[in-house]
Structure 1
């Protein structure tokens, strides 16, 4: 974090300052900020956040032992360290991030890119950050830090030298993206896709559209809204923004588009086209044709920020995975490939992963394809229908075997066997351990295994176990 005095921090968060021994209001603090006491380093700021299962105040002494110079708390604690007492520590975290972003922005070099969408935020963030890091100091979220806690923690990593902030902005309700934008208004706002991910939490697809539109509705006329022309709901957001619209997608009308797409087990190749007329082949080593759209969004943002096309392509070609547990290639022994894509799952991303598995099968004469699938969470009233649709897709795309794990996903198994064209190709297990025992005996040399589920289903650990088994 940029250096601020204790007094300046207290003013920014509208809190009451209680000084620790040896400190005074002008003491400067510039360490990292976090809500996890285990991650606090000497000189850092610990935000004591109450949670559903525990209370951050209980770990304040651990943060102090790790070298915390300041605690932001909701009740004064009997510890000899400077403390700022606030009514709501999460609100204070956001207020501090707002102050830091404002001060760095006033230096004149910082550009902010905001990314949202039902799918692809983390991949796009990683791709864009990889490109921009070659140009200047870039701050981007670790993992999927995209909510009211993770996003400001990322923003607070800014320094006076930071040139680019890539902010992933997620939401589970209307108003949440707008809240993050008030902390760090983007110069470039990207909307990737509007799908059924979290639709149960939002209360419907139209509420999801409303929430995602917040990414571009407050942009200024000299800002840029980067929108997916292939998604009608996203394309409609052009009417809600004053910003210049830059389209990306596969449609011929897109200013940044891809042609000549070809996917295999090693990744995807395509030709990228820019609005300037420039074009370049790309050998994209991230598995899954659907990630081409994420790459195009990253290209569009980097191009807008003035990065030359050859530098963009060089950076894209260095990326070998979207993120941990996202289309991650594991295994290798006996020609067995394990694709661990079980960090998140929506109907769109589940369908895309299954299509990728089918494409691998079509491009290879090796063994079978096996889909190990768990539940897609937060779908609300759409859950049953969408799990049915995935079960049918597995059958109709000719996937060799379906292994369904967990009671919340069982409808995929029932739908697959009811399709009538299979005889024993689909199996169901209540637990990941049972599925592992089955797969340990079932997987044969040359097989390709996709493991896909929402994070809550926990199948990412099953994917890791299978990867280790065949490493």
Structure 2
């Protein structure tokens, strides 16, 4: 964070100083909410949760070197006391962002946000200092904490924005006003909470409404292949840049193919030129993510050759997202267990099919959460797709929704041993340990609450007679 005195911070957040001998002391370290991350010059944000109250750690963080605690009550050590800690954190982020010289890029969408954010960060980071959201910390707490890690040297600040209802993105964009806004897609993620795709589109489009006009540098990067996203052009005064497969897209891909290992290769076309890309990531769905990143980078002044080079070098920065590891015995484990929705589940299955050409493929799948009335149909559709893609064996893990996955496979023609329903992760591990053969490819994917990453981890431990070779 740019250095601020405790007196300045108190004024920005509308707080009162308590037990602070010298208000001119400056916060020179990070702003943290985890007491274990507190260090010299840091500011500790004390949230009172249901199970853990950050105020209980106030003395420990100051002893570790923290300059003060942002708290909702006096804590007996230097503190800035406010009525609402979350609101104060947001106000501090808004103030700091306003003083930065960085260009703020924000993105949202139903699927692919984190992978695309990681690509944008690596592409822009190849040219200038770039700060970006770690993992999926894209809510009203994670977003301001990320913004506060920017310094005076930061040129690009790339922030992922999530939403679980109307008004969420408007609020986040108010904390960290973007100059470039990217909307990837409108899908089925959280459809049970929103009530329908039109409502999801209404929420996601709040990002482009928050952009400055084109004359002030505002740019809306929109998916030309998603009608609900493309329609958002009417909701902004910013310049509109389209990406996708459409001939009308400003940034598009030609000659898309997958390598033998399932990595996408294509000819990138931008208004400034064309160049070839071969990605290190797995699955054709990353082409759209790459085009989105390329459109942002083009708008921010990078050439086609620079963009293509950076995309070809970019890797996965976030855990459990198409994380591909080959065991010493030749079994390949694809850990995509961080989260799942219908769009990302289908993309992962297609990637599995491409990676497994000439090999046995396993899809270990679990529940997709928050689908509401669409849950049965969407789980059924995923089970059917596994059969259509000739996945060798579907292992559906868990309760009712997993049963629907297997039912879809059964109804599509999987009547023999091509699919099985098991009760839990351990049962899946036991089955795989007994039946996997060298050369098999295993995809593991479900919503975060299912915790299927334990299956992938167990399989890697099983095969680790020597060191596991990650690639």
TM-score (norm 1): 0.94
Range moving further from structure 2, 345-354 or 304-313: 304-313
Secondary structure of the structure 1 residue equivalent to 2:329? helix
Which residue of the partner structure matches residue 359 of structure 1?
A: 354
Query: How far 1:381 moved relative to its partner?
Result: 1.7
Look up the SS of the partner of 2:313 in the other structure: coil
Q: In the alignment, which residue of structure 2 is the partner of 1:2?
A: 2
Does the Cα contact within 8 Å between 2:274 and 2:305 map onto a contact in 1? no
Question: Where does residue 213 of structure 1 map in the other structure?
Answer: 205
Query: Shift of residue 468 of structure 1?
Result: 3.3
Q: What per-residue deviation string (whole Å, max 9, x for no partner) do you get for residues 398-426 of structure 1?
A: 11100011114221013322434431211
Is residue 2:132 matched to residue 1:140? yes
How many Å apart are 1:198 and its aligned residue? 1.2
How far residue 300 of structure 1 moved from its aligned partner, in angstroms, is 0.7
1:435–1:53 distance in 2 versus 1, CA, 3 Å: same
Task: Give the aligned partner of residue 103 of structure 1.
Answer: 99
Single out whichever of 409-418 and 115-124 deviates more from structure 2.
409-418
Q: Residues 153-193 of structure 1: CA distance to partner in whole angstroms, max 9, x if unpaired?
A: 00001111111100111111111111111112111100001
The one of 434, 438, 446 equivalent to 1:453 is 446
4+ runs of 1 displaced by more than 3 Å? 418-421
Q: Is 1:320 aligned to residue 320 of structure 2?
A: no
Paired residue for 2:85?
89
Contact map agreement 2:262 2:355 (CA 8 A) in 1: no
Shift of 1:333: 2.5
Q: How far apart are the structure 2 equivalents of 1:135 and 1:126? A: 15
Determine if contact 2:123/2:314 at 8 Å carries over to the other structure. Answer: no
Counterpart position of 2:385: 393
Aligned residue in 2 for 1:424: 417
SS of the residue corresponding to residue 325 of structure 2 reads strand
The residue number in structure 1 matching 2:244 is 249
1:50-199 residue pairs with structure 2 within 5 A? 50-77=48-75, 79-80=76-77, 82-104=78-100, 109-199=101-191
- Range 243-252 or range 213-222, more displaced: 213-222
Q: Match of 2:22?
A: 24
Contact 1:342 1:459 in 2 (8 A): yes
Aligned to 1:301: 296
Aligned residue number for residue 429 of structure 2: 436
**Distance (Å, rounded) in 1 between the aligned partners of 2:51 and 2:382:** 34
Give per-residue Cα distances to partners, 1:219-247, cap 9 Å, x unaligned: 12221100000011101101111111000
Aligned length: 459
Structure 2 CA distance for aligned equivalents of residues 204 and 40 of structure 1:
42
Q: Which stretches in structure 1 are left out of the alignment for 5+ residues?
A: none
For the pair 1:379 / 2:377, whether they are aligned, the reply is no
Shift of 1:335: 2.3
Contact 1:139 1:162 in 2 (8 A): yes
- 1:261 and 2:245 matched: no
Question: How big is the shift at 1:64?
Answer: 2.5
RMSD: 1.4
Residues 109 and 183 in structure 2, CA contact (< 8 A), matched pair in contact too: yes
Distance 2:103 2:271 in 1: 21
- Give the C-alpha shift of residue 392 in structure 1: 1.0
Tell me, yes or no, if the aligned pair for 2:262 and 2:354 is still in contact at 8 Å.
Answer: no
State the TM-score, normalizing by the size of structure 2: 0.94
Deviation by residue 1:264-312 (Cα, 9 ceiling, x = unmatched): 4251101100023x11110111001001111111111111111222222
Tell me, which stretches of 5 or more residues in structure 2 are unaligned?
none
For residues 332-375 of structure 1, give each alpha carbon's deviation from its aligned partner in whole angstroms, at most 9, with x where no partner exists.
323211111110101000011111112233xx32x211100011
Residue 6 of structure 1 and its aligned partner are, at CA, apart by: 1.0
1:16 Cα shift?
Answer: 1.1
In structure 2, which of residues 326, 333, 337 is the aligned counterpart of residue 331 of structure 1? 326
Q: Which moved more, 1:146-155 or 1:131-140?
A: 131-140
CA distance in 2 between counterparts of 1:66 and 1:322 reads: 29
Indicate the larger mover: 38-47 or 150-159: 38-47
Q: What is the CA-CA distance between 1:51 and the residue it aligns to?
A: 2.0
CA distance in 1 between counterparts of 2:85 and 2:19 reads 18
Seen in structure 2, the aligned counterparts of structure 1 residues 32 and 234 have a Cα distance that, compared at 3 Å, is: same
